Structure 1
Amino acid sequence: MVVDLVVIGTAITLGPLHNSAFILLLASHRGVRKGLAFLLSWLINLVVVVACIVLLTGGTPPVHHSTPSTAAVAAKLAIGVGLVLFSGYRHRRPPRPFRPPSWTGRVDNASLGTAAALAWLLQPWALVGAGAATVVDADLSSLSDWFALTGYCLLATLSLLVMEMYTVWVPVGAQARLNSLRTWLEHHQDQLIVTLSLLAGLWLMGSSIYALVT
């Protein structure tokens, strides 16, 4: 479970879409506050998903090869296959010139509530679903599993946390560097999405098949 959560959390935090949007928020009027609203909403979303799964399982992992256990593994396998197919689709799609989404022009006047809602909209739900299917195996009687779940939520939020703290600590130089990062992310968006989807998908497929046959 721990390795799967590390892989999924890393794929989530490296996603280019929400990172680009977050940098735009930080550059806007009251950017630090909007960034904090986005960050907290993002983290709360992950925590709510984990909490719902834990409530469903009662904090006790299902018996290996039982119906609930097999269903969770099958869900991970299906998500992995979907990610691999999606990466192939994005790779074969003809290249298009980058055009910022229409909502980016309204970020400067966005409210804190809008910034928080944007975090939910930009969540990579396929990966969050894979994380939820993995959390089914969490045993809350084990302190190490508590640390694993906490680490997963923090890892999936790490890029946002680093950029928020960087903007607070180095307000003068942070914006120029983050804007350069956003430009790079926008111009390599397709490559990043393809790579992250492919690697995460292959990992989920491999770990799920291994769990089904052992």
Structure 2
Amino acid sequence: MVADLLVIGTAITLGPLHNTAFILLLSSRRGVRKGLAFLLSWLANLVAVIACVLLLTGGTPPVHHSSPSSAALAAKLVIGVGLVLFGGYRSRQPPHPYRPPSWTGRVDNAGLGTAAGLAWLLQPWALVGAGAATVVDADLSSLSTWLDLTGYCVLATLSLLVMELYSVWAPETCHARLNALRTRLEQRQDQLIITLSLLAGLWLTASSIYDLVT
């Protein structure tokens, strides 16, 4: 479980779409507050998904090769294969210039609720779903499991947390550097999406097949 959560959390935190949107929010009026609303909503979504899974399992992992265990592995396998197919499809498409979404021009006038809603909208739900399927094996009677789940949530939020703290501690320099980062993310958005989809998808596929056959 730990290795899967590490891969999934890393793929989530490196995603270019939500990081680009977060930088735009930080650069707008009341950017720190909007960034905090986005960050807390993002984290709340992750925690809510984990909580729902744990409520269903009762905090006790199902017996290996039982129906619930096999169903969770099958779901993770489907997501892994889907990510690989998506990454392969995107890699065969001709590159196209980045076009900012229509909402980016309205970021300055966005409220805290809008910022929080963007976090929900831009969550990479396929990866979050893979994380949920992995959390099925969580055993809440073990302290290490609590630490693993906490680490997963922190890792999946790490890029946002670093940028938010940077904007608070060094407001004079953060905007220029974060905007330069946003430019690089926009220029390499397709490559990042393809790479993260293929790597995470291949890992989830291989891990799920291994767990299903052993």
Structure 2: 5+ residue stretches without partners: none
TM-score of the pair, normalised by structure 1: 1.00
For residue 99 of structure 2, give the secondary structure of its aligned residue in structure 1: coil
Deviation at 1:56, TM superposition (A): 0.2
Pairs within 5 Å for 1:169-208:
169-208=169-208
* Residue identity matched to 1:104: T
Deviation at 1:17, TM superposition (A): 0.1
In the alignment, which residue of structure 2 is the partner of 1:115? Answer: 115
**Quick check: 1:131 aligned with 2:138?**
no
For residue 108 of structure 2, give the secondary structure of its aligned residue in structure 1: helix
Runs of 4+ in 1 over 4 A off after TM superposition: none
Pairs within 5 Å for 1:29-108:
29-108=29-108
* Residue identity matched to 2:14: L
In the alignment, which residue of structure 1 is the partner of 2:145? Answer: 145
In the alignment, which residue of structure 2 is the partner of 1:167? Answer: 167
Deviation at 1:108, TM superposition (A): 0.7
Deviations 1:35-79 (CA, angstroms, capped at 9, x unpaired): 000000000000000000000000000000000000000000000
Q: Find the aligned partners of 1:90 and 1:183 in 2 and give their Cα distance.
A: 21
Q: Find the aligned partners of 2:62 and 2:70 in 1 and give their Cα distance.
A: 9
Percent identity over paired residues: 81
Deviation at 1:97, TM superposition (A): 1.1
Q: How many residues align?
A: 214
Q: Find the aligned partners of 2:192 and 2:96 in 1 and give their Cα distance.
A: 15
Deviation at 1:138, TM superposition (A): 0.0
Deviation at 1:210, TM superposition (A): 0.4
* Residue identity matched to 2:13: T
* Residue identity matched to 1:137: D
* Residue identity matched to 1:16: P
* Residue identity matched to 2:25: L
Q: Find the aligned partners of 2:97 and 2:179 in 1 and give their Cα distance.
A: 19
In the alignment, which residue of structure 2 is the partner of 1:16? Answer: 16
TM-score of the pair, normalised by structure 2: 1.00
Q: Find the aligned partners of 1:145 and 1:14 in 2 and give their Cα distance.
A: 24
Deviation at 1:200, TM superposition (A): 0.1
Q: Find the aligned partners of 2:191 and 2:185 in 1 and give their Cα distance.
A: 9
Q: Find the aligned partners of 1:110 and 1:92 in 2 and give their Cα distance.
A: 36
> Root-mean-square deviation (CA), in Å?
0.3
* Residue identity matched to 1:93: Q
Deviations 1:14-50 (CA, angstroms, capped at 9, x unpaired): 0000000000000000000000000000000000000
Q: Find the aligned partners of 1:43 and 1:97 in 2 and give their Cα distance.
A: 31
Deviation at 1:94, TM superposition (A): 1.3
* Residue identity matched to 1:161: L
